[in-house]
Amino acid sequence: MIASALRPLAAIALVGLLGSIDGCLQSGEPSVPLQPGEPAASAEGTGTVTGITDGDTLRLDVDGTELRVRLVGIDTPEVYPEVECFGPEAEDALATFAPRGSTLSYAYDREQRDQYDRELMYLFTEDGTFINYELVAQGYAEALVVEPNDLYYDDFVAAEREAQSQGLGQWGQC
């Protein structure tokens, strides 16, 4: 788990480096990288994004097999069957972090698949941005624990509280 005491130091050190990737995402929100030894450093593999389904689900080509991937530990507002407040924005945010054709690293928690046979993954951009975390930190998603997959739950809850307190994303719009 990301050590709470190290989070501010890591964020300060990387604000300059990661500030340029904000693009059309909400500016001023630092990415919180993982420490050495966390899944980004020991990723189980990489894949190429082939499409976005909604704010917390995408398709990833891994070694020629297209996988349906559910970002584990988070939940975004829905875009199907009915559009929920901030659902389209969450979908757009995921598409910005993981555009079609981009390469992502992934890691699993304790369970690899959910009841819908989707892969449950933590996803990371090539520069190490932890997508699951950033979606929560920027107000596009909320923390969701589906036991036993709780590796980053405390970090996601802390990020959600901070996003709520700042009125970011859905917390300022819905």
Domains and CATH numbers, the chain: 7-173 (2.40.50.90)
Active site residue 78: yes
pTM of the model: 0.77
Strands 103-107 and 45-54 turn out to be: antiparallel
User: Tokens 């975004």 identify what position?
Assistant: 76
d(Cα 63, Cα 161) in Å, to the nearest integer? Answer: 38
CA atoms in the 13 A half-sphere facing the CB of 95: 11
pLDDT band per the 50, 70, 90 thresholds, residue 20: very low
pLDDT tens figures, 72-126: 999 999 999 999 999 999 999 999 999 999 999 999 999 999 999 999 999 999 9
The one catalytic residue among 7, 78, 84, 162 = 78
More confident residue, 11 or 127: 127
Assess whether pLDDT exceeds 50 at residue 30: no
Assess whether pLDDT exceeds 60 at residue 127: yes
Assess whether pLDDT exceeds 90 at residue 35: no
d(Cα 12, Cα 111) in Å, to the nearest integer? Answer: 33
The one catalytic residue among 70, 89, 134, 142 = 70
Residue 68's SS3 state is strand
Assess whether pLDDT exceeds 50 at residue 11: no
The one catalytic residue among 29, 38, 118, 160 = 118
More confident residue, 38 or 5: 38
Q: Residues of the chain with pLDDT > 90: what percent?
A: 73
Question: Average pLDDT, stretch 55-63?
Answer: 98
d(Cα 135, Cα 149) in Å, to the nearest integer? Answer: 18
